[in-house]
Structure 1
């Protein structure tokens, strides 16, 4: 992993924490911006996704893990109606902890693959017919992108449900 990639991961973590921790209003921009950023990142990082051998399986595993982590992240965000009548999200330490562990784990794996256990990764890859670093990179990028999309989907669903419940209460 290059210095730029380490910086990108740190920047991503700081952005996620800065824009989600605490109480924040639910806006179209807050829901759509991560989706747009994910689309841009996908176009940039997923230009050539390896599919030989078991690369596709590894990448699907990355998507599955990202979906689960994204749902967990979304469920760690509360959606409530604020005193101003608008919906707000609330995210605290468990949300931050999850993102620090996930992004930190991804960075630690990449560092370890370059420095500590590169032979073990190579042996595992050969044994399981994974063609190389490109497949691992694609799997981790897909995991990260899916996590963000799943988190946004859960938050949007909770917000929509909150609006429906509020309308039902007003009608009753």
Structure 2
């Protein structure tokens, strides 16, 4: 792994620690994880291979990312205090985040330190045509996990505010108010 890959993977893992303390839901709550995963997508996602079972691999990992993201969003405490929404990732949300981000890092380390032959055999046996299919699958898994978690938390924040009688703000109003 390159230094950039280490920094990016560790940054994505550390995002969870920022979320373990209760904080106001604001634009940075969205921009930080989206910025990091956006960098990863821009840097590593050059194509999404469609030969053989490449799309099956990609969609399988995207589905896992969505499940982890939605569950992480559901296990994040969301509450209204006055006009503000406060969020705090619970233990389950933190474990799910580390599981998703850590699995990608572990796979990458394993592929570079002894697992390449097993991955190649698995790929041939399951008609996965290139290493780019694995890259696309894991990058899109990360993107999906981040986006679905943030969307779940955002939707829950709107529900919490509407439940306590606040007017539900639009996405544009939410961003400009901060």
TM-score range, shorter chain: 0.7 to 0.9
What is the alpha-carbon distance in structure 2 between the residues aligned to residue 23 and residue 73 of structure 1? 15
Shift of 1:98: 2.1
Conserved? CA contact 1:26–1:86, under 8 Å:
yes
The TM-score normalised by the length of structure 2 is: 0.83
For structure 2, list consecutive stretches of 5 or more residues without a partner in the other structure. Answer: 167-178
Shift of 1:160: 0.6
What is the alpha-carbon distance in structure 2 between the residues aligned to residue 8 and residue 34 of structure 1? 11
Number of matched residues?
A: 166
Q: Which moved more, 1:148-157 or 1:100-109?
A: 100-109
Classify 1:28/1:94 alpha carbon distance in 2 versus 1 (closer, same or farther; 3 Å). Answer: same
Classify 1:32/1:7 alpha carbon distance in 2 versus 1 (closer, same or farther; 3 Å). Answer: closer
Looking at both structures, which has the greater relative contact order when contacts are Cα pairs under 8 Å and sequence separation is at least 6? 1
Structure 1 residues 46-85: aligned runs within 5 Å: 46-82=45-81, 84-85=82-83
For structure 1, list consecutive stretches of 5 or more residues without a partner in the other structure. Answer: none
Conserved? CA contact 1:63–1:143, under 8 Å:
yes
The TM-score normalised by the length of structure 1 is: 0.85
RMSD: 2.0
Q: Which moved more, 1:58-67 or 1:141-150?
A: 58-67
